[in-house]
Amino acid sequence: MAAPVTAEPRVGGERQMVPRDKPRSYYGLPIVKRPAWTWEVPWYLFTGGTAGGLAAVAIFARGTGEAKLGRRARRLALAGAVVSPALLISDLGRPERFLNMLRVFRPTSPMSLGSWTLAGFGSALGAAEMADFVGLPNVVVGTLEAAAGILGPILANYTAVLLADTANPIWRGGRTILPFVFTGSSVAAAGASLCVAGPPEESVAARRMVAWGTAVEQASFLLMQRRLGPLAEPYRDGPAGRLAKVHRASSLTGAALISVLGRRSRKVAILGGALTLAGSAALRQCVYRAGFQSAADPRYLVDSQREAAAASGQGKTATG
């Protein structure tokens, strides 16, 4: 027998991938760690994203004469901006050290940029609310809203960058599409919360947002799974798979209700909005849980790295 220590021949693209029934791994133990975060994080993905989408409504509604809608969006966004940091701080091992997040500005860390974005976003929204309350001129309120409105779209999807800039196979593998999944979800949830909070005659824009937000969310989620290939398995199996089903059913039903009957009945709008919100929350939970399932099985990581190396021609050289 000639040197069977290296069972696979080193022939670049033609190498046999790890057979499913006989994984080459160390007792099947995980290679990368599963996420060390707690329950707050997927909820933050939802609250922060929704608030980000709402802030965009707040700045532009002022210009289109939909002042009531704009103010409603701003207040809902503010609520999200209050809840979000609370969730994040609670997740920390040492919550009293949360200010260390603003100790440095770290362009290489999506979490650092996100912390600064969230801090600026919340401050601007809070200040806008105060300025409005004490009756400062519209230009002051508008400027503060604009600041939040610029940070909002970043807040809506930087969390996708945060998840993708890791060693987790399923997050890393879907990296260029995940921002679109989160953006669509944020838009749908922002629109849905406005449908719940306001009368149908003031929620035209909100209904449109639910419709196209859901479309972007569903389409990009499907595209991401297709691109992931075998890596997408967790989106179909186990807890993440179940959450994906809940997400799809809830989001699509909610969007349909709002689009078809939302302008006629407040009650239906509230039901549809609640379903859309639940669907968006389920999507964030699903993506989060999928990271656990993807890290647990070393086959995902080994196969994807072998494939990527073979594709880029590195497979010919010895490992190192």
Residues 62 to 101: which contact another protein by CB under 8 A? 63-66, 91-95, 97-98, 100-101
> What minimum distance in Å lies between the beta carbon of 134 and another protein?
26
Q: Please give the size of the binding site for another protein, defined by CB under 8 A.
A: 95
Q: Which residue carries 């005659």 as its tokens? A: 201
**The two three-digit tokens of residue 154, written as one number:** 């970043």
**Contacts (CB under 8 A) with another protein, residues 117-146:** none
> What minimum distance in Å lies between the beta carbon of 105 and another protein?
9
Options 102-110, 125-133, 137-145, 280-288: segment touching another protein (CB under 8 A): 102-110
Q: Where are the alpha helices (DSSP H) in 92-137?
A: 110-133
DSSP 202: G
Site string for another protein, 267-306 (x = CB under 8 A): ------------------------x---x--x--xx--xx
Q: Give residues with Cβ within 8 angstroms of 34, minimum separation 6.
A: 291, 292, 295, 296
Among 17, 31, 246, 256, binds another protein (CB under 8 A): 31
Compute how many other C-beta atoms are within 10 angstroms of the C-beta atom of residue 1.
4
Among 51, 81, 209, 258, binds another protein (CB under 8 A): 209
Among 12, 17, 37, 143, binds another protein (CB under 8 A): 37
**Contact present, 6 and 312 (Cβ < 8 Å):** no
Query: Is 4 buried (19+), middle (13-18) or exposed (0-12) by CB count in 10 A?
Result: exposed
Q: b/e for 59-76, b at 16 or more Cβ within 10 A?
A: bbbbeeebeebbbbbbbb
Cα–Cα distance, 123 to 305 (Å, whole number): 42
Among 109, 123, 143, 253, binds another protein (CB under 8 A): 109
| 320 near another protein, judged by CB under 8 A | yes
Among 131, 141, 216, 228, binds another protein (CB under 8 A): 216
| 9 near another protein, judged by CB under 8 A | no
Among 48, 173, 179, 254, binds another protein (CB under 8 A): 179
Measure the CA angle with vertex 128, ends 122 and 130; round to 5°. Answer: 100
> What minimum distance in Å lies between the beta carbon of 61 and another protein?
6
